[in-house]
Structure 1
């Protein structure tokens, strides 16, 4: 039911501002209905706020509450549809004429009546029902989590955490944080460490405290926690009265930590709690703390400055299979059982609590492959039924991950991830741009915060971190994705096929069909698609209309795999905002010829079989994002580029000639383009002339295919310099330039720079990130003239270390440096060079490393040495880098070499993590560019050191260090429970 509340509230947050716009912009003839519009504006947020508050305080809403909430959600959708049909673009001047004023007036009046009637029904039934005493007698949160994680594989983790607790300097307080998604085994691992014999020998006093979910705040919460800690540390002595006043508790605990070697474990720590108790712990002590949390930001804060963060890892397929063999498939395996266990392993996706829950549910049954597969197919339904209580804890954990999110907007954004299959990562850019297009968030900054929070809470796993520290892709935990999709479908937020019963009442339609995807490229497959948008009109009409009384239309359509009988005439989806056909096979211009009729489209992504776009695409007034990266499109009409709301264009395209009329629009500064990645410049390209007038451009990627005698050569150089200069006069933010140079354009950045050859050139522009690929005759003065440059990548430049050093030494603020196929033999990095550098990435064909003087690169925290023939560590002295946190190696390197680096890393006082990066060939690149993706952390070195103030992630293309954490959840503490000494306390 919370799903309905979240979605309805998100819709209201989008609808209400538009209603307010109508009030502000209403014409003379609409004044007689301003009162009705004002009614909607006032009532909608109050309705959702009241319903949200009512539902959120009950574990299971009644049937009348569900019906009432669904009614309000449907009304909100209908209002939103009405506004889209009748209102003009609020952002465009001179376009405030409402379409068909008479019909719009009738619709508003009808909505007023329907909302009034819905409110009356709510009063009669829902409010009356709420007066009946339905108080729950359910017990508090289940505390039996210490065996939630299967013992398979935990021994290795226990040894690692133990080593982090006792290793290194022992005279300072160290906090080890265990962080991970709910049900991943954090508590079980902590409990194993807490009770192991080595701990009892090392620590004379121990205390275990669990922070409960029930909320109390302030001084009472602090006193409750400290009392539990003190009682645990005192053990048998705790029978004497324990001081209850806050100051006394602090003094007693501080004295114990200073005079004895103590271990304190706080399970489920919260940020507010940590901030409150941190000051009482002495810095100089041999005592240790172990805390668990689901939030990375909390773990990071607890472990700074001298501690560590241990990130829980999912169980491997082998570990999962071993556990099932031990607990379920006892007595041997048959092919049928193999099939069943494989289905379970795949479904649970390495989540320990899910695996344990399924194993318990299967015990006592006659096991067959069919039974196991049926169990996995209907796992979420079984969680809902939960007849034998096997799934109580799992359901509780998954629901808590959702319901604990701080606002309904974030909940809706999380639900939206269900439109993507869970067998592949989700591009964070795609997700954010789709959120924006759907109206669930307001701007890119908010989108970034939403993603950060979901990653921080470990609901999303970050994949492929990028050059600004943000994840390029993410993926919900497999079991969480299944749970979200189940909830979304049940609440009519998502429909997964045309045959779904809730298809006409769902906002998001997802079609996934991989059965005949290869056939789509064959002759008969293409034949089936001849009438892709015309042969299934009846199905589309049924989808749109649905059963009587259901008139809602989908706002997004996403197709994966073969198109086949997916949709017919896309123009029938007149209010579609998002159309994602990037992964849809078998489409071409004939099939998508009428996309331009989708006048409300904001996000459009097309697939690999599309090779041309019509000039009619210039009619998509609202289009914000156009993704052509998978298409075969080479030339794009300029009419698309000048769309008034187009912000992001992805692909590798050329621009046709610009008419005088369109050129005038650019000269008037009409372009709102922010991202153009990217464009091919040849002698006929119109882009150099246009780029000068693209005042809002912040990210551009260019492939140069021109010679230095071409007029476009000079124009492009001038446009690039003006692009950099424009950054000087705007608030500092991310501005990125990527240039792929050919042999004839190696001096492009020297052009138009005059005779300025000073060693310290005047700062003439601002870029935060610059990537240059291709031959250079010298280190460009242009690079040295940039102020604030933080990220630099130089690939295949043919420059030597001696050529590079003078230029690099001028980049005092450089945080990340990547050098690809550069001769490093004469690259001598001295003390004072690159003083701000935190990440160094060297991609080499031969293992020839630079010389780094002792004391140089004092802020280095991450180093990537990507060469398959790399040997041991003798050429790089890791001990020189006091703050080193991470080391990345080529996945093709010799296993013995990996062992050498692992051993050396363990000897380092900061115990840096060792990662492997896999080589891939970029299909979009014509040059021999090598990229490294999907960092795979070495199994026996799973922890992340957090001794610096920033958290480091491995990047795929350009790697940097950036703080990515946000504030945590509020402190929730429940009542203390009695327990025996050295047993888990509960606060």
Structure 2
């Protein structure tokens, strides 16, 4: 039920925001309704708060309470629908006329009466959301104190290599290293085997013999907070270290406990394991450990930032990996299919491996459930098909722990907004990673985030930090460019979303008009696909009384409503595959805010005609079958994001970029010259465009003169096909310089430029005429710059950029000395990517690049630069991408890069080269990981390729680009 509360909370807060807008604008047509609107505002806020209180008690709601909450959720949706149908665009300034004000007044009055009636029913049937529900007696993180390894994914699965690595990290090192405190962190998704791995390491004889005292402490997820929690943790540590010497008179106060443990650590070398560490507890523990006595601390956590904080400055972080398909299959062969696999059982084994997706606890749970049964392929498939439903139904069975762990990953998220964003991520098939821009842009368009793009990015980063969302293809700054939920979590969230009427995966779903988000996957033969997951009717797993009432309610609803002219209420529609059956139904989707047809094939003019009628649309993305847009696009008044990257559109109608709320435009298109009122609007600085990625500039382009007046533009991508004789050339040069200079007077934030040059435009950044010379000498501000194309010299424009953090130079044909001459001026660079034929003449010396953390070198010939000792003091990641690399790089000494944590190579290098780099990495104090990245060539040969991770369990930040 907690999932349903998060959904209704998000919707209610969105509705309350709209009601506040109505009250603030005080529409003259509503002067007699101000009291009713204020009532709705207060009532919805109270409903939201009372539901959150109910869930905070961790009690199981009764069937009546569940039905009452569902009624209020439906009412919140009805109010939201009413506001969308009758109110003008809330983002527009001024008092616009309400559509059919008389009918709107009637609807508001009706909704108020329905809300009153629902409130009376809640009181009548004692459905008090705020009742003092009993605390759940289920510990979120139960541990067998006799064997902590029994928690989670025990028996341990696939941890042999990880165990050896962690044991080595705890006991190895020279005398100086052994005398210093070291903290080793194990981080990973819930149920991935962190505790089992830590338990194996804790009990390893080679580890145990190194320490005179050892202690194992577990921090329960539902443990008390504040000073009492800190005292409880320190007491457990002290009692563990003292062992049989512990007395009943162990000090109880925080300060005394700290002093007692500190004195003990001064005389003995100790190993302390803290399972499920929290940041607020670590801040209390860390100061009491003496730095020079050689003790070791091993912590486990689901949060990457906590792991990093614990292990700084000289510790080690081990990111636990999902099991590979081979490891999963091997476990099943040893524990389930002990008599071998027939072709039929092989089919069942494959189904289990695919469903569990490398999650140890899921794999162990299925294996235990199959024990004692007569094994068949059908049984194995049936066992995994409705895996999430089994977690609901089998309260004391093999899947109970798995359900608790997955639910804890969700319920531990702070705030309903973040929970709803996670639910929303299950919209996308898990075998198709979704881009950061798509996910965060849709969150904003749906109203699930109260804020801007920066806040949306922080929400996504928090989910990634907790290892619930996995980065797949990170961008230059290390943030996820594409991502996906952890496989088993995706299945769990989709199941919960469907049960709460949040997501439907078919137009034929029961109660389809109640779902807020619809996904349709159509094969070319017209058959629907269920997203690769077992589905269950809404409400599965609830008690029989609730099922009876729900069934009765559905029959009554069906009796009094017909399907003819049914208006569907989803706020988003996502279509994969054929458009034949899905898109014509858009006539029934009048309130859509998000329409994602990027992966939809077969769109035609009739389909597009329906799209132009969706007047509430905020987010639209189209696919490869679209080659032009009509001027009717100007009807989409509310549109904020338009993604045309997969289309075949070459030239965009003027009416598109004139849309008043359009903030983000993606694609590769030409813009014609603008005249009349649209031109005047741009000259007045009224354009709302923030992202334009990107535009093709030729001698007929009207964009350069408009760019100067786009006051809100922060990200622009340009393909320059003009030359120095075109009139647009000088205007474009001026616009680019002004774009950078304007950044100096605005709040510091992401401001980026991507520029693809041709041979005729190589001097674009050094092109100055008349007064532009003085302007060019001024400093500018960009946070990110990408230049692709031949240059005659390192541009003065680039060296003038203050605070430039990310720089990519591709195919510039500049020599190493010329590159260094400019690069040394950029003292704040954090990320640098160089793409050339070779970089043998690049000599990076002591003191160069003091801030650089990520270096990506991509070459066709295996000739890399020289990196001298003392250079790159903060470098944590180096990527040496060349499929022809053989052996080590003679002029790059890994041991001289003190902060190095990661080395990436092209996956096509030979095995001997990989082995040599792995051995070299083991000699480094931080034992940096050696990653293999697979090159993916683009369809457009002029565009860079990208590299993606090949390791099933290692979704580390690969970097885009190509030599």
Q: Normalising to structure 2: TM-score of the pair? A: 0.92
**Inter-CA distance 864–170: structure 2 relative to 1 (3 Å threshold):** same
Corresponding residue of 2:486: 477
Work out which of the residue numbers 705, 715, 731 in structure 2 matches 1:689: 705
More displaced 10-residue stretch of structure 1: 51-60 or 400-409: 51-60
Deviations 1:5-24 (A, max 9, x none): 11111011111121111112
Work out which of the residue numbers 192, 202, 211 in structure 2 matches 1:203: 211
Contact 1:819 1:843 in 2 (8 A): yes
Work out which of the residue numbers 154, 168, 184 in structure 2 matches 1:163: 168
Contact 2:409 2:468 in 1 (8 A): yes
For residues 86-105 of structure 1, the aligned pairs below 5 Å read 86-105=86-105
- Paired with 2:650 and 2:488, the residues of 1 have a C-alpha distance of 41
- Paired with 2:221 and 2:723, the residues of 1 have a C-alpha distance of 67
- Paired with 1:157 and 1:108, the residues of 2 have a C-alpha distance of 61
Corresponding residue of 2:818: 803
Corresponding residue of 1:853: 868
Contact 1:588 1:611 in 2 (8 A): no
- Paired with 2:631 and 2:773, the residues of 1 have a C-alpha distance of 47
Corresponding residue of 2:24: 24
Corresponding residue of 2:670: 654
- Paired with 2:30 and 2:694, the residues of 1 have a C-alpha distance of 45
Are 2:880 and 1:827 equivalent residues in the alignment?
A: no
Contact 2:25 2:95 in 1 (8 A): no
**Inter-CA distance 387–725: structure 2 relative to 1 (3 Å threshold):** closer
Ranges in structure 2 where 5+ consecutive residues have no aligned partner = 530-557
- Paired with 1:83 and 1:756, the residues of 2 have a C-alpha distance of 51
| Secondary structure, aligned partner of 1:591 | helix
Deviations 1:853-897 (A, max 9, x none): 322222222211111122214221112221112111111111111
Are 2:916 and 1:912 equivalent residues in the alignment?
A: no
Work out which of the residue numbers 795, 805, 815 in structure 2 matches 1:790: 805
**Inter-CA distance 386–219: structure 2 relative to 1 (3 Å threshold):** same
Are 2:573 and 1:557 equivalent residues in the alignment?
A: yes
**Inter-CA distance 833–115: structure 2 relative to 1 (3 Å threshold):** same
| Secondary structure, aligned partner of 1:500 | coil
Corresponding residue of 1:899: 915
Corresponding residue of 1:931: 945
Deviations 1:6-44 (A, max 9, x none): 111101111112111111212334211110011011111
- Paired with 2:754 and 2:133, the residues of 1 have a C-alpha distance of 65
Work out which of the residue numbers 772, 780, 797 in structure 1 matches 2:787: 772
Corresponding residue of 2:550: none
**Inter-CA distance 874–126: structure 2 relative to 1 (3 Å threshold):** farther
Shift of 1:332: 1.5
Aligned length: 924
Deviations 1:162-221 (A, max 9, x none): 111123311111111111111100000001011111122111211001112333233322
Deviations 1:839-866 (A, max 9, x none): 2211111121222232222222221111
For residues 525-536 of structure 1, the aligned pairs below 5 Å read none
- Paired with 1:29 and 1:449, the residues of 2 have a C-alpha distance of 40
- Paired with 1:306 and 1:670, the residues of 2 have a C-alpha distance of 52
Contact 1:873 1:900 in 2 (8 A): no
| Secondary structure, aligned partner of 1:122 | helix
- Paired with 1:546 and 1:467, the residues of 2 have a C-alpha distance of 53
For residues 134-145 of structure 1, the aligned pairs below 5 Å read 141-144=141-144
Contact 1:89 1:95 in 2 (8 A): no
Work out which of the residue numbers 511, 514, 518 in structure 1 matches 2:520: 511
Are 2:607 and 1:598 equivalent residues in the alignment?
A: no
Contact 2:157 2:360 in 1 (8 A): no
Are 2:747 and 1:731 equivalent residues in the alignment?
A: yes
Corresponding residue of 2:423: 415
Are 2:630 and 1:614 equivalent residues in the alignment?
A: yes
Deviations 1:525-577 (A, max 9, x none): xxxxxxxxxxxxxxxxx9x9877999661111101122232232423311100
- Paired with 1:41 and 1:128, the residues of 2 have a C-alpha distance of 20
Work out which of the residue numbers 502, 505, 520 in structure 2 matches 1:493: 502
More displaced 10-residue stretch of structure 1: 302-311 or 870-879: 870-879
**Inter-CA distance 620–282: structure 2 relative to 1 (3 Å threshold):** same
**Inter-CA distance 631–860: structure 2 relative to 1 (3 Å threshold):** same
| Secondary structure, aligned partner of 2:40 | helix
Contact 1:152 1:322 in 2 (8 A): no
Shift of 1:115: 0.9
Are 2:758 and 1:742 equivalent residues in the alignment?
A: yes
Deviations 1:128-164 (A, max 9, x none): 6987986766577532462424434211111011111
Corresponding residue of 1:704: 720
Are 2:903 and 1:887 equivalent residues in the alignment?
A: yes
Contact 1:186 1:312 in 2 (8 A): yes
| Secondary structure, aligned partner of 1:739 | strand
Contact 1:434 1:603 in 2 (8 A): yes
Shift of 1:261: 1.4
- Paired with 2:293 and 2:720, the residues of 1 have a C-alpha distance of 61
Deviations 1:751-798 (A, max 9, x none): 11779999x994431111111111111111111121111111111111
**Inter-CA distance 762–171: structure 2 relative to 1 (3 Å threshold):** farther
Deviations 1:717-772 (A, max 9, x none): 111111111111111111111111111111111111779999x9944311111111
Contact 2:140 2:408 in 1 (8 A): no
Contact 2:304 2:465 in 1 (8 A): yes
Are 2:878 and 1:863 equivalent residues in the alignment?
A: yes
Corresponding residue of 1:452: 461
- Paired with 1:519 and 1:412, the residues of 2 have a C-alpha distance of 26
Are 2:319 and 1:305 equivalent residues in the alignment?
A: no
Are 2:100 and 1:85 equivalent residues in the alignment?
A: no
Deviations 1:928-965 (A, max 9, x none): x44332234598xx7x9xxxxxxx94433499xxxxxx
